[in-house]
């Protein structure tokens, strides 16, 4: 990792510079009066511009070739936030911190701090279903930045962890998949279980997001499940999630989702 570790706060033409960081993200709660909101994971400024111009609701910085929640180098996170804000794009920007075991709390918190310092609205952190997950959640709740914990559906839903995440002051909770070769979220978990996750999180007053190899053909079911946010990467690429983002696929998916 050769990235600058502490790029410092973004000083830019951010139209929301005076707002608390999580506000724009939290404003997405409620599913936009029936409209399914879309998060797209991007790896660099080129892809970020494509999704911002397509009107995607949340721009999520992630390096898909580095794992389920692979981290983008910090200098790229900083570059993207500055460029999007300077261009007047006001969508919330999230970033992931990489795939970490639950016991690596200090390293995760350090990376959360460094990522937040790049100016993102929210930092997404994967929380494996393992001993130590509750301690990690508690530590993340005390981080000096808005964090959204991400659970993994292919590890099974842990009710106690979900309850804890709903109780702690996170702006949202997401459900994704860790293994991208084993089908989509909706194949890992049945629809009633996904609905349970969504209603539990929304019932706690938080934004409920789902992701995990979701496809355009699942748009109707996604709308019926009514999360606040549906996240995509693989469906936006020609040749797998680690390939480049395809503008044609992006347009087709955005049209299908907004149908």
Ligand X SMILES: O=C[C@H](O)COP(=O)(O)O
Helices then strands, counting H and E runs in the chain, come out as 10, 8
Task: Specify which residues 13 forms β-bridges with.
Answer: none
For residues 92 and 123, the answer to whether their CB atoms sit within 8 Å is no
- Which of 140, 212, 219, 227 is in the footprint of ligand X by CB under 6 A? 212
Applying the rule CB under 6 A, the residues between 142 and 181 that interact with ligand X are 176, 180
Would you call 153 helix, strand, or coil by DSSP? helix
> How buried is residue 40: exposed, middle or buried, by Cβ count under 10 Å (0-12/13-18/19+)?
buried
Closer to ligand X at the Cβ: 13 or 220? 220
Q: Cα separation of 246 and 226, whole Å?
A: 26
Query: 27: which residues sit within 8 A by CB, 6+ positions away?
Result: none
Whole-number minimum distance, CB 104 to ligand X, in Å? 20
Whole-number minimum distance, CB 236 to ligand X, in Å? 8
Q: Among the candidate windows 28-36, 100-108, 115-123, 208-216, which touches ligand X by CB under 6 A?
A: 208-216
CA angle 40, 41, 47 (to 5 degrees): 90
Give me the active site residues, please.
62, 124
Closer to ligand X at the Cβ: 142 or 183? 183
Residue 202, φ and ψ in degrees, nearest 5: -65, -35
Q: Does 70 bind ligand X (CB under 6 A)?
A: no
Residue position matching structure tokens 């952190």:
125
Neighbours of 29 (CB within 10 A): 18
Applying the rule CB under 6 A, the residues between 80 and 119 that interact with ligand X are none
Q: Does 233 bind ligand X (CB under 6 A)?
A: yes
Would you call 245 helix, strand, or coil by DSSP? strand
The alpha helices in 117-158, defined as continuous H runs, are: 133-141
Applying the rule CB under 6 A, the residues between 37 and 66 that interact with ligand X are 39, 41, 60, 62
Closer to ligand X at the Cβ: 214 or 222? 214
Q: Does 227 bind ligand X (CB under 6 A)?
A: no
Whole-number minimum distance, CB 153 to ligand X, in Å? 11
Q: Among the candidate windows 74-82, 189-197, 207-215, 219-227, which touches ligand X by CB under 6 A?
A: 207-215
Helix (H), strand (E) at residue 147: strand 147-152
Q: Among the candidate windows 24-32, 48-56, 162-170, 206-214, which touches ligand X by CB under 6 A?
A: 206-214
Q: Among the candidate windows 22-30, 154-162, 198-206, 227-235, which touches ligand X by CB under 6 A?
A: 227-235
**Interface residues with ligand X (CB under 6 A)?**
39, 41, 60, 62, 176, 180, 211-214, 231-235, 241
């Amino acid at each position: 990792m050769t990235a600058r570790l502490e790029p410092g706060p973004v000083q830019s033409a951010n139209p929301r510079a005076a707002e608390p960081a999580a506000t724009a993200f939290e404003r997405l709660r409620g599913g936009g009066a029936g409209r399914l909101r879309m998060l797209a994971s991007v790896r660099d400024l080129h892809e970020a511009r494509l999704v911002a111009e397509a009107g995607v609701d949340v721009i999520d910085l992630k390096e898909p070739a580095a794992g389920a929640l692979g981290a983008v180098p910090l200098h790229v996170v900083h570059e993207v936030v500055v460029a999007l804000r300077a261009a007047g794009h006001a969508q919330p920007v999230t970033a992931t911190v990489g795939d970490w075991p639950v016991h690596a709390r200090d390293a995760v918190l350090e990376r959360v701090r460094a990522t937040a310092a790049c100016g993102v609205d929210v930092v997404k952190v994967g929380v494996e279903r393992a001993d130590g997950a509750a301690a990690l959640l508690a530590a993340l709740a005390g981080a000096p930045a808005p964090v959204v914990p991400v659970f993994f559906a292919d590890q099974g839903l842990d009710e106690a962890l979900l309850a804890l995440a709903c109780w702690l002051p996170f702006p949202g909770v997401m459900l994704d998949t860790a293994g991208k070769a084993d089908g989509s979220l909706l194949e890992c978990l049945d629809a009633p279980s996904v609905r349970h996750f969504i209603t539990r999180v929304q019932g706690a007053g938080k934004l409920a997001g789902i992701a995990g190899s979701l496809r355009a053909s699942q748009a109707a079911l996604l709308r019926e499940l009514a999360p606040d946010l549906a996240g995509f990467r693989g469906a936006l690429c020609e040749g797998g999630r680690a390939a480049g983002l395809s503008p044609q696929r992006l347009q087709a998916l955005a049209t299908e989702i907004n149908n």
